[in-house]
Amino acid sequence: MTRKYLLEISVDSVEKAIAAERGGADRIELCADLSVGGLTPRGDLLRSVRSKVHIPIYSMIRPRAGNFVYSDSEFSEMERSIAVAAECGMDGIVLGVLKKGRRVDIVHTRRLVDLAWPLPVTFHRAFDKTPDLKRALKAVMQTGAARILTSAGAKTALRGAAKLAELVAATRDRILILPGAGITAANLAEVVRKTGAIEFHSGLGTVLPYSTRDFDAFESEARKLAEQLARLCRD
């Protein structure tokens, strides 16, 4: 039986979303301003992308750049943004909330997960800022999030592959580990082999500038990743 892998591509425009879908992406993470790691996209962008692509779209919910410890007003903004994302037909939510000391804020994250329901929530790379990844894994699992986007604290998913494999093993299928950071067609097979994960995330930022308007090149790079995963599924 062949194994099915999933490719998620992060984008910050309608054109990139269309290019990612044409290239074979299975899911889109939709953001504003990927140069700072992604922020909450405006409602008009959510609606435009939803009208143009057919694959699932997960909306980033991050009110500002910087750390992931939010004020009460910023948390309220995140709540409103989740409601907007749901109204705009998003298929999932991407977020991360930490407490002072860089530990997972279980209470506030669970509140956002409950608010997003039935949309699944990905806990993003705020996870990598925590001082103890295994403790953070247990905390995120308590929130009801469906997956964790992570490089296991390393600069790239490939460098963090050994720790990612440990996280995958520790989940016991209770939550998905989604490796991301620096994944390209050149290293994807190694990341797959070393981590044991089944979903993979790329913003293509190591092969194309985030500001690129060469959407044919963006589509081509997405296709390289999708074709690589398709080959690995057959092997």
For 144-153, how does the pLDDT look when each residue is reduced to its tens digit (9 = 90+)? 999 999 999 9
- Please give the domain boundaries of the chain with CATH numbers for all domains: 6-234 (3.20.20.380)
Predicted local confidence at residue 2, as pLDDT: 54
Return mean pLDDT, the chain: 95
pLDDT at position 3 over 70 = no
Let me know: does 63 contact 70? Beta carbons within 8 Å. Answer: yes
pLDDT surpassing 80 at residue 204: yes
Cα 24 to Cα 17, 88, 93, 167, 206, distances in angstroms: 11, 23, 21, 27, 19
Mean pLDDT throughout 93-118? Answer: 97
The whole-number pLDDT of residue 209 equals 84
HEC letters along 184-213: CCCCHHHHHHHHCCCEEEECCCCCCCCCCC
Q: What does the pLDDT read at residue 235?
A: 73
The whole-number average pLDDT for the span 188-215 is: 93
